[in-house]
Amino acid sequence: MKRLSGLDATFLHLETPEMPMHVGALHVFELPKGFRGRFVDALRRHMSARLPLTPALRRRLWMMPMNITNPVWVDAVPDMKHHVVEVRLPPAKKGGKAGMAELEALVGRLHPQPLDRTRPLWKFHVIEDLAPASNGHKRVAMYTQLHHAAVDGQAAVALANAILDLSPEPRALELKASTREKRFRLSLVEMVSGAVTSEVQQITHLLRALPGAVGAVSSAATRAVSRSQLVTGRKAPGGLGAAPRNRFTHAVTAGRAFAAVSLPLAEAKALGKAHEATLNDVVLWLCSTALRAYLAGHRELTRQSLVAAVPVSLRAKGDTRSDNQASMTLVSLGTNIADPAKRLAHVRAATRSMKSTLAGVKDILPTDFPSLGVPWLMEAANAIYRRATESDRLPPVANVTISNVPGPLAPLYLAGAKMLTNYPCSIVVHGVALNITVQSYDRSLDFGLMADAKAMPDVRRLAEALEDAFTVLRTVPADEDDVAIAAPGAARPRRRAPGPSRKRATAVRQPARKAGEA
């Protein structure tokens, strides 16, 4: 038995039919030559063998009396016929086998479906009737669902490492999965005493950490004001105003629209290095540029920059526990800046500001907190906020969530099949109706774009705008000595002393890979 932390349980308390709180991914696999049988059967056998390595997949929720405090995890043995299911796609519109367009539409239909809370909170959907690869090999796809109460982005990567292999031949395991489900009958006294003990521990921990937390927050606020003056030329704390209202800042509906795209990872890194930008800066700039083009095409571009909510991992290096250890920060995307080079300079300055402000408080941000009565309060608040009139009345905090999760840089295999793509499928919430999650895999940056179907039914256009943005990035001059930070009153960068000219980094040119291609 393990009690859910305050952060883990938050994803349960906030869940509604319009706002399911599971994450996942869309994968395309290439089957080995000569493969016989159904992949769904092979996958069920494979997952049964890997259960000892995956605690997040073999536990279920146990609710507290009257839902007075957070639930606990208890051991369970998954029924593979329920958790690994086969889904059939309709034929492609032009005839023949289904392709990427049909897979994207399928994810849009499946993603709003909630997971069964009486079972382990995961499900794999296998799609076997895909068009073959260009080399003639058969292909299959898989769309996964995993509740966010169980894992964050980094924990999901660790889970994938336990399930996937580095070669077509699955690695040998000495452990065997238990086939006998444990029956729990926790008494009311045990549940109440456990909850009270947990509350006392949490309150004691918070009181001990309070003096240091106050000092850290005060220091961070001072740095934020200083950074704000550098980035914006104004004395507004944090350098961020309220996000502008647009099609993304409304209550979400129960429908979803999904699109995916892959961009060459090596070239993205090389272009970032040429501009003295991190890979995360490049991802944010690509999203900013694509959003600017998309909104301009709809005549909805605002004079005020869009603001991105960016998850930040609080996980220590090497920590692979199946839980949530993350927080959220805000970054200005500079979508109001027409010049691509100045927009990149703005993104770089905004991320530096964010990192400087976050550095002093990252270690004190809580992932657990007292929860007595919290389920009632959060569910009541969520019920109020989900009303469209209420959510539309509150000032928007962000327009889009953008998450960049480092992933494996070598090809991986599942039950003998080679994984070609790894498109994340994440969460949209009331007031932030678009989520762009990126994961590096093998030689690609795989983008998964999840949107509320009412707010953005044409999310495929944004995926195409990302490809166009990458083409634009190739043309942005690498020498930024003469590019001022794009904000009113911002100081121009100091020129370097005379000397040998810098050599521009040479990008490794690779064509942008279409979604679903090897």
Which tens digit of pLDDT belongs to each residue from 136-161?
Answer: 789 999 999 999 888 765 677 788 88
Return the CATH number at 12: 3.30.559.10
| Same domain? 483 vs 355 | yes
Q: Which of these three, 147, 163, 179, is where a domain ends?
A: 163
DSSP run (H or E) holding 29: strand 22-30
Which letter does DSSP use for residue 497 in this model? Answer: P
CA 239/CA 227 separation, integer angstroms: 7
Establish if 458 belongs to a structural domain: yes
Which tens digit of pLDDT belongs to each residue from 324-351?
Answer: 555 678 999 999 999 999 999 999 999 9
pLDDT band (50, 70, 90) for residue 281: very high
pLDDT band (50, 70, 90) for residue 320: low
Establish if 100 belongs to a structural domain: yes
Contact between 127 and 87 (Cβ < 8 Å) = yes
Q: Which of these three, 142, 163, 184, is where a domain ends?
A: 163
| Same domain? 155 vs 26 | yes
Lowest mean pLDDT among 271-275, 289-293, 354-358: 354-358
| Same domain? 159 vs 271 | no
Residues contacting 485, CB < 8 A, separation 6+: 230, 231, 342, 345, 346, 349, 491, 492, 493
Active site residue 148: yes
Establish if 280 belongs to a structural domain: yes
**pLDDT for 129:** 80
| Same domain? 341 vs 465 | yes
User: What tokens does 445 get?
Assistant: 């940056």
Bigger pLDDT: 498 vs 272: 272
The domain tally of the chain equals: 2
Establish if 506 belongs to a structural domain: no
**pLDDT for 516:** 54
Q: Which of these three, 163, 184, 217, is where a domain ends?
A: 163
User: What tokens does 27 get?
Assistant: 């994968």
pLDDT band (50, 70, 90) for residue 319: low
Which tens digit of pLDDT belongs to each residue from 158-211?
Answer: 888 899 999 999 888 766 545 455 555 555 555 555 544 554 454 444 444 444
Question: Out of 83, 111, 148, 430, which one is annotated catalytic?
Answer: 148
Selection from 74, 118, 447 nearest residue 291 by Cα: 447
Residues 447/450/454/456 CA torsion (nearest 10 deg): -20
Establish if 243 belongs to a structural domain: no
| Same domain? 157 vs 278 | no
**pLDDT for 133:** 79
| Same domain? 6 vs 143 | yes
| Same domain? 270 vs 403 | yes
Beta strands in 392-492 (DSSP E): 400-405, 413-414, 417-425, 434-441, 444-452
| Same domain? 156 vs 304 | no
Return the CATH number at 432: 3.30.559.30
Q: Would the pLDDT of 222 be above 70?
A: no
Range of the domain at 429: 264-314+325-360+397-408+420-487
Establish if 136 belongs to a structural domain: yes
Q: What is the pTM of this model?
A: 0.79
Establish if 233 belongs to a structural domain: no
| Same domain? 310 vs 445 | yes
Establish if 159 belongs to a structural domain: yes
| Same domain? 139 vs 271 | no
CA 165/CA 162 separation, integer angstroms: 8
